[in-house]
């Protein structure tokens, strides 16, 4: 006759329900003792913290407030973006590149007096845009790679609102940091060059350079955000975006002239050049239409990403 | 209250969740059981609106989750303790969640104190141990002081102290009248935690019943007997219609089926047979569950050393009365299990389910009205 139940298994013990093991309750009960174990906490790499006694927990509380709304998602996304190191590092790199390169150039180069001093001072933005683009991607892709997106959407299930809030917060941050840094750099650089070389005769449009340049940083970052939510993968989205920014200027010259010209004129880099000071060059679209074109690229990426975010399982 | 109606999820041509209908009610801990890959996590993700159902629907307090205005105030969920940005501190992680639901900042301090993480609130969550990460996840579930809590495998990987803590916490939450829905593949854990059980296998409902009814209805009872006059006793018992099998756990002991312990003792006394042991036994929840789900285990361990204990080795004869199934392929609900749904859990065995009306595991329908 075959065995009818699985072989030896501690079974049939009466289960003492609802009663913690005596050993365990001894460990859990006196809270003071549990909390005052010297050296138990902060032991790297895995920090430890004692379990509080459940029996004494007051689980309810004053949670006040009203419903969730878009203003609250904005606040939440602002908290998120300012509380991770990648944001601070990226912003620091951006500021250093713009200001540092601007001051370095203004102190060393010898331009003609008919050159636009502001565009020389702001040359660092061309490299700093890569940091802005990267941060745009990371703002959303890091949520997917860490799994945070599931927690985010559990707390606030309206996905498109989350994406829009991210975009608004990110663009605002980029624009704000851009205006301050580029404004400062433009003023410092221009005065340094003026004192070294002499008054410039070039038409200088400080508004177009500083505000337009800052808007460009926000827009190229939003392009990154769109690619990030579309591809959900940091490395892939960053690579794609670097390609879009850098490739046209590299391959453009090797293409047939008419095609290559268009490839370059409709590229992000061209738009940035026009904005920060390609005033004298009349080829291709002007600075503001160029900016609009890049904004359209970003919008296409964001809309495609939004559609994917809405329809796909997280 | 969580309510699923005909909930179905298909990935390609693989049916992960198949027509699940159930209700999770307030005031008790409802265990959600199934082998790995049974569809527990998928079901929970659909409850939260993270995955869209292929068919059917599920509501939280009567509304789809993504229509809930401030979700954290109605339902707190811990699906994956690692679903957070490791570079953010525990405090900031909770803060951004609280803000999205309009929950005041001081509540963040409150929940951090509740789970014992106050001292590490300013440390990055990436450096937390598994138990601390789990508690941070629980803190986020408690943020909105919700009436419904849902935990997916909350004790996985925790040390005994953490397991005990979570077990007590879930009971505490249920005793306050909250709805607690917790999944596990650990029987022993459910046995001491849950009041109500929803068991699924390969995405299908196997049972939706109170814990007590589940064991009573599906358990096989027998009596372990040891006696110096074993042959004489066995002859007598078999004369009374008992089935006798050797007990492999205790040398010299026998398992007597289909006779209550009192009858066995009386019979022995009548004939002057000494008994060294007479102990009634019931299957543990674990054994019941193993039997119920062994045909719906998706990924069997094909180890040469044999399957894990209790996981019914392929060559092993089925328990007496348990119907033999052709292959590992699950078709229809496991035989012999009555559709003992609690009220409001209308599920029926798919048409043509094999083995319908199989014996022993099905006892007359218990009232099933626990809740």
Query: How far apart are alpha carbons A187 and A185 in whole angstroms?
Result: 6
Q: Are B337 and B361 in contact (CB under 8 A)?
A: yes
- B85 or B285: which leads in pLDDT: B85
pLDDT classification of A212: cutoffs 50, 70, 90:
very high
- A86 or A80: which leads in pLDDT: A80
Average pLDDT rounded to a whole number, residues B267-292: 83
Q: Would you state the pLDDT for residue A105? A: 93
Q: Would you state the pLDDT for residue B291? A: 76
> Considering only CB atoms, which chain B residues are within 8 Å of A148?
83-85
Q: Which of A162, A312, A70 is closest to B45 using CA atoms? A: A312
In 3-state terms, what secondary structure has residue B371? coil
Probe site for chain A from B28, B101, B191, B253 (most A CB atoms < 10 A): B101
- Closest-CA distance, A39 to chain B, in angstroms, reads 12
Q: Would you state the pLDDT for residue B219? A: 72
- B258 or B285: which leads in pLDDT: B258
Lowest mean pLDDT across A11-15, A269-273, B57-61, B158-162: A11-15
- Mean pLDDT for all residues in chain B: 80
Give the chain B residue whose CA is nearest to the CA of A149.
B83
Q: Would you state the pLDDT for residue B107? A: 94
In 3-state terms, what secondary structure has residue B16? strand
Tokens of A112: 């003609």
Average pLDDT rounded to a whole number, residues B109-122: 94
Q: Can you list the domains of chain B with their CATH numbers?
A: 2-216 (3.40.50.300), 221-282 (3.30.70.790)
Q: Would you state the pLDDT for residue A280? A: 55
Residue B306 has pLDDT above 70, yes or no: no
Q: Would you state the pLDDT for residue B157? A: 78
pLDDT classification of B54: cutoffs 50, 70, 90:
very high
Residue A34 has pLDDT above 50, yes or no: no
Q: Which of B328, B262, B370, B269 is closest to B31 using CA atoms? A: B370
Residue A289 has pLDDT above 90, yes or no: yes
Q: Are B273 and B229 in contact (CB under 8 A)?
A: yes
Lowest mean pLDDT across A2-11, A169-178, B43-52: A2-11
Lowest mean pLDDT across B55-69, B83-97, B270-284: B270-284
Q: Which of B183, B216, B199, B203 is closest to B350 using CA atoms? A: B203
Percent of chain B with pLDDT over 70: 79
Q: Would you state the pLDDT for residue A43? A: 41
- Size (chain B), residues: 371
Helix, strand, coil proportions of chain B in percent (round to 5)? Answer: 30, 25, 45
Q: Are A305 and A223 in contact (CB under 8 A)?
A: no
Model ipTM?
Answer: 0.81
Question: Residues A215-233: pLDDT tens digits?
Answer: 999 999 999 999 999 999 9
Query: How far apart are alpha carbons B166 and B181 in whole angstroms?
Result: 13
Question: Residues B10-30: pLDDT tens digits?
Answer: 998 899 999 999 999 999 999
Residue A35 has pLDDT above 50, yes or no: no
Q: Which of residues 198-237 of B touch A (CB under 8 A)?
A: 220, 222
Q: Are B232 and B201 in contact (CB under 8 A)?
A: no
- A49 or A20: which leads in pLDDT: A49
Q: Are B227 and B194 in contact (CB under 8 A)?
A: no
Per-position b or e across B146-158, b if 16+ CB within 10 A of its CB: bbbbbbbbbbeeb
Q: Are A229 and A300 in contact (CB under 8 A)?
A: no
pLDDT classification of B299: cutoffs 50, 70, 90:
low
pLDDT classification of B205: cutoffs 50, 70, 90:
very high
Query: How far apart are alpha carbons B87 and B57 in whole angstroms?
Result: 36
Average pLDDT rounded to a whole number, residues A86-115: 92
pLDDT classification of B84: cutoffs 50, 70, 90:
very high
Q: Are A234 and A309 in contact (CB under 8 A)?
A: no
Note whether B162 contacts A: Cβ–Cβ < 8 A.
yes
Q: Are A117 and A194 in contact (CB under 8 A)?
A: yes
Q: Would you state the pLDDT for residue A64? A: 66
Q: Would you state the pLDDT for residue B121? A: 96
Give the chain A residue whose CA is nearest to the CA of B146.
A60
Residue B357 has pLDDT above 60, yes or no: no
Q: Would you state the pLDDT for residue B97? A: 96
Instruction: Look up the pTM and report it.
Output: 0.77
For residue A154, the number of C-alpha atoms closer than 13 Å in the C-beta half-sphere is: 30
Q: What are the distances in angstroms from CA A179 to CA A90, A188, A214, A304, B216?
A: 16, 14, 6, 29, 73
Residue B124 has pLDDT above 90, yes or no: yes
Question: Residues A124-157: pLDDT tens digits?
Answer: 999 999 999 999 999 999 999 999 999 999 999 9
Lowest mean pLDDT across A4-8, A301-305, B76-80, B219-223: A4-8
Give the chain A residue whose CA is nearest to the CA of B111.
A59
Tokens of B293: 């789900």
Lowest mean pLDDT across A267-271, B41-45, B315-319: B315-319
Note whether B94 contacts A: Cβ–Cβ < 8 A.
no
- Rounded to 5°, angle at Cα B59 from B55 and B63: 120
Average pLDDT rounded to a whole number, residues A69-76: 92
- B238 or A10: which leads in pLDDT: B238
Q: Which of residues 121-160 of A touch B (CB under 8 A)?
A: 142-143, 146-158
Probe site for chain B from A6, A25, A149 (most B CB atoms < 10 A): A6
Residue B163 has pLDDT above 70, yes or no: yes
Q: Which of residues 30-89 of A touch B (CB under 8 A)?
A: 35, 41-42, 44-52, 54-55, 57-69, 72-73, 75-77, 79-80, 83-86
- Closest-CA distance, B71 to chain A, in angstroms, reads 6
Note whether B140 contacts A: Cβ–Cβ < 8 A.
yes
Residue B369 has pLDDT above 50, yes or no: no
Q: Are A262 and A185 in contact (CB under 8 A)?
A: no
């Amino acid at each position: 006759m075959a065995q009818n139940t699985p072989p030896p298994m501690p079974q049939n013990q009466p289960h003492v329900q609802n009663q913690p093991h005596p050993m365990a309750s001894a460990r859990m009960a006196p809270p003071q003792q549990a909390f005052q174990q010297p050296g138990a906490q902060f032991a790297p790499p895995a920090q430890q913290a004692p379990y509080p006694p459940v029996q004494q927990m007051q689980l309810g509380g004053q949670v006040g407030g009203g419903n969730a709304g878009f203003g609250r998602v904005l606040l939440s996304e602002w908290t998120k973006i300012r509380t991770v190191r990648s944001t601070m590092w990226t912003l620091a790199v951006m500021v250093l590149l713009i200001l540092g390169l601007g001051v370095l150039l203004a102190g060393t180069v010898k331009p003609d007096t008919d050159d636009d001093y502001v565009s020389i001072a702001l040359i660092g933005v061309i490299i700093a845009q890569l940091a802005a683009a990267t941060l745009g991607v990371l703002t959303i892709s890091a949520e997917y790679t860490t799994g945070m997106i599931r927690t985010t959407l559990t707390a606030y299930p309206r996905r498109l609102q989350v994406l829009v809030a991210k975009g608004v917060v990110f663009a605002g941050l980029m624009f704000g940091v851009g205006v301050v840094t580029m404004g400062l750099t433009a003023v410092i650089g221009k005065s340094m060059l003026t004192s070294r070389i002499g008054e410039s005769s070039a038409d200088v449009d400080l508004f177009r350079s500083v505000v337009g340049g800052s808007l460009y940083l926000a827009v190229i970052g939003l392009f990154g955000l769109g690619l990030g939510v579309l591809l959900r993968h940091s490395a892939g989205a960053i690579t794609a975006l670097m390609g879009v920014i850098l490739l046209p200027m590299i391959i453009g010259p090797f293409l047939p002239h008419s095609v290559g010209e268009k490839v370059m004129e409709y590229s992000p880099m061209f738009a940035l050049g026009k904005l920060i000071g390609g005033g004298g060059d009349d080829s291709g679209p002007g600075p503001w239409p160029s900016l609009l074109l890049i904004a359209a690229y970003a919008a296409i990426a964001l809309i495609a990403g939004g559609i994917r975010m809405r329809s796909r399982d997280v | 209250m969580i309510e699923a109606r005909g909930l179905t999820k298909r990935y390609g041509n693989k049916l992960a969740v198949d027509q699940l209908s159930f209700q999770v009610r307030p005031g008790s801990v409802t265990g959600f059981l199934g082998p790995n890959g049974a569809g527990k996590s998928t079901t929970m993700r659909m409850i939260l609106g993270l995955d869209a159902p292929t068919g059917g629907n599920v509501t939280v307090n009567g509304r789809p989750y993504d229509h809930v205005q401030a979700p954290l105030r109605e339902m707190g969920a811990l699906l994956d303790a690692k679903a957070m940005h490791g570079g953010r501190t525990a405090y900031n992680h909770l803060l951004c969640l609280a803000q999205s639901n309009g929950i005041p900042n001081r509540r963040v301090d409150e929940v951090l104190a509740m789970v014992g993480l106050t001292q590490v609130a300013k440390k990055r969550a990436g450096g937390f141990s598994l138990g601390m990460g789990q508690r941070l996840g629980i803190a986020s579930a408690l943020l909105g002081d919700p009436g419904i809590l849902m935990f997916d495998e909350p004790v996985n990987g925790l040390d005994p102290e953490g397991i005990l803590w979570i077990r007590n916490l879930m009971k505490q939450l249920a005793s306050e009248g909250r709805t607690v829905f917790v999944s596990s593949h650990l029987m022993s854990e459910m046995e001491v935690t849950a009041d109500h059980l929803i068991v699924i296998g390969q995405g299908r409902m196997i049972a939706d019943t109170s814990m007590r009814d589940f064991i009573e209805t599906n358990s096989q009872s027998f009596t372990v007997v040891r006696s110096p006059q074993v042959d004489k006793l066995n002859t007598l018992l078999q004369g009374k219609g008992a089935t006798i099998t050797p007990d492999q756990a205790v040398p010299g002991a026998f398992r007597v089926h289909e006779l209550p312990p009192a009858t066995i003792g009386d019979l022995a006394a009548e004939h002057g047979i000494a008994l060294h042991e007479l102990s009634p036994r019931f299957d543990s929840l674990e054994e019941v569950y193993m039997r119920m789900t062994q045909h719906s285990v998706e990924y069997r361990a094909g180890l040469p050393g044999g399957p894990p204990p209790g996981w019914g080795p392929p060559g092993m004869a089925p328990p007496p009365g348990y119907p033999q199934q052709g292959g590992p392929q699950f078709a229809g609900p496991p035989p012999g299990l009555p559709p003992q749904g609690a009220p409001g859990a209308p599920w029926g065995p798919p048409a043509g389910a094999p083995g319908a009306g199989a014996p022993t595991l099905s006892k007359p329908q218990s009232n099933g009205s626990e809740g």
